[in-house]
Amino acid sequence: FGPSHEETVTPLAAKYINSYKDLPLSVYQIQTKFRDEPRAKSGLLRGREFGMKDMYSFHTSEKDLDEYYERVKQAYLNVYERCDLTAHVIEASGGPFTDKFSHEFSVESEVGEDTIIVCEKCGIAQNLEIAEGKIADPDEKEEKELEMKLVEIERGFTVADNAKAHDVPEHKILKSVVYEVEDEGLLGVVIRGDLNVSNVKLENYIKKRLRPADPEVLKKMGLVQGYISPVNMPKGVNISFIGDHSIKNIKNFVTGANEYAKDYVNVNLARDFIVKDFTDLVEVKSGFECKKCGKALKEIHAVEVGNIFQLGTKYSEAFNLNYTDKDGKSKPCIMGCYGIGNTRLMGTIVEVYHDDKGIIWPISTAPYHVHIVSLGKDDDVKEAAEKLYKDLVGSGVEVLYDDRDDSPGVKLNDADLIGVPLRLVVSKRTLEKDGVEWKERAKDEASDVKFSELDNKVKKFLSK
């Protein structure tokens, strides 16, 4: 009963692993999981209870883990391909599991909660949180550094308000974002006004947890949100600043003066303010250039359907999972973990394959291959439908047979809603032609097929 089971599997593995001869080892389970999801919604895509395939691997070396990790990565891609899904492999943050990067498998969907960055030319896909891309420098005329001035001006608190008030483009605004860093106080980031800070990149860089600074904390220090800047900080205010690379090539910024309704204009790096360090902290968005091929990157919505992590020795050290190597020395096992969300995978297939009438199951994942619908109350119709059902089942076809005493409209609409790949209708009209009505769920048109041709045609359809 939990979100993941590293804490359960690791001590269990310790009962079976003693020597290097016991490794590598992998164990897996398919089990119902529970997560106290604060945003349970979207049906199967984000529920508190869901099915998941977990696997954990144990190794003697990083090299052995790397090789196994790549094999699992390819196996997962094979699974998604078998499900008729195109999955992007995305390098992502390791989250609470590891300080290394992990890999996510995401499928493009408008209902997806994740935003990923893709290059449609070279195929690179990145999680928005840690994505890298080349920022397009704004078209600017060569200009000299002008004299910094303090101006009084009534404006709003956003970058857009600031740019409008001073009649400058947003990239000329020097934006300051302040964070509370775990055990270290306040830290500021300065970045171009038209860009956003990636909190994950910042956390990965400083190796500390952080959160946006509480407005009340800033207020008590005499700072006004929307007017904070590294230029002439008030006495007694201790905020160190890190700079994003984007501010290096811009001259004559506009920024707040750390007082309400006061700004500095013609602010320049090094002359008017300094930062202790520079790094890539920008959140990539559409229009940035791919660092590999130079083409424009694109943001897409996606659903995460799996992930894999290299855990290192985090859990093996915590739970004393050690093995004896060839030299008789005791060493902690190196671990990996791998997961596919079975329930979410099913929901993703439905989101990718549907129309306004219902689901359009791919043959590879359909709960049934053929949906037989008998229309009318005539005995010969019922007998023909039942014979067809038995013949198809006998030949190994998975069949859903609708023999309900309902109207044709209800039964045909339900067939579209359920979305079985092939619908075969048996009715008085079709029997007069010695056959059935053939309708593929993914197509609009229907046709008549004789019973004598049906077996071969069904086999050919299912072999696609």
CATH number at residue 23: 3.30.930.10
Residue 97 clears pLDDT 60, i.e. is over it: no
Contact 288, 133 (CB under 8 A): yes
User: How far is the C-alpha of 93 from the C-alpha of 102, rounded, in Å?
Assistant: 6
User: What's the confidence (pLDDT) of residue 4?
Assistant: 74
Q: Is 309 found in the same domain as 332?
A: yes
Q: Is 13 found in the same domain as 122?
A: yes
Identify the residue with better confidence: 80 or 100: 80
Q: Is 304 found in the same domain as 258?
A: no
Residue 15 clears pLDDT 70, i.e. is over it: yes
The total number of structural domains that make up the chain:
3
Q: Is 208 found in the same domain as 319?
A: no
Contact 176, 162 (CB under 8 A): no
User: What's the confidence (pLDDT) of residue 224?
Assistant: 93
Among 257, 279, 301, the domain boundary falls at 279
User: How far is the C-alpha of 134 from the C-alpha of 17, rounded, in Å?
Assistant: 47
Residue 356 clears pLDDT 70, i.e. is over it: yes
pLDDT band at 413 (very low <50, low <70, confident <90, very high): very high
Q: Is 81 found in the same domain as 41?
A: yes
Residue 53 lies in a domain: yes
pLDDT band at 306 (very low <50, low <70, confident <90, very high): very high
State mean pLDDT over 295-324.
Answer: 94
Residue 89 clears pLDDT 90, i.e. is over it: yes
Residue 36 phi/psi, 5° resolution?
-75, 70
**Is the pTM of the predicted complex or chain greater than 0.85?**
no
Residue 357 lies in a domain: no
Query: Which pair of structure tokens corresponds to residue 78?
Result: 């094979």
- With a pLDDT cut of 90, the percent of the chain lying above it is 81
Chain position carrying tokens 């890539």:
280
Neighbour tally for 194: CB within 10 Å: 18
Among 279, 311, 336, the domain boundary falls at 279
Report CA-CA distances (Å) from 314 to 4, 9, 79.
15, 13, 29
User: What's the confidence (pLDDT) of residue 41?
Assistant: 60
Q: Is 245 found in the same domain as 164?
A: yes
Q: Is 177 found in the same domain as 124?
A: no
Contact 20, 60 (CB under 8 A): yes
Domain that holds residue 192: 149-279
Mean pLDDT in the chain? Answer: 92
pLDDT band at 250 (very low <50, low <70, confident <90, very high): very high
User: What's the confidence (pLDDT) of residue 130?
Assistant: 84
Contact 279, 244 (CB under 8 A): yes
User: How far is the C-alpha of 447 from the C-alpha of 438, rounded, in Å?
Assistant: 5
Sheet containing 253-259: order of strands: 149-152, 262-267, 253-259
State mean pLDDT over 1-11.
Answer: 81
User: What's the confidence (pLDDT) of residue 117?
Assistant: 94
Q: Is 119 found in the same domain as 182?
A: no
Residue 138 lies in a domain: no
Among 279, 305, 323, the domain boundary falls at 279
Residue 72 lies in a domain: yes
Over residues 150-189, the pLDDT tens digits come to 999 999 999 999 999 999 999 999 999 999 999 889 999 9
Chain position carrying tokens 């306040």:
186
Residue 98 clears pLDDT 60, i.e. is over it: no
CATH number at residue 214: 3.90.960.10
Q: Is 257 found in the same domain as 169?
A: yes
User: How far is the C-alpha of 312 from the C-alpha of 99, rounded, in Å?
Assistant: 9
Q: Which of 192, 213, 162 is nearest to 278 (CA)?
A: 192
Residue 58 lies in a domain: yes
Task: Give the Cα-Cα-Cα angle 34, 38, 40 (nearest 5 degrees).
Answer: 70
- With a pLDDT cut of 70, the percent of the chain lying above it is 95
User: What's the confidence (pLDDT) of residue 128?
Assistant: 85
Query: Which pair of structure tokens corresponds to residue 425?
Result: 């209708």
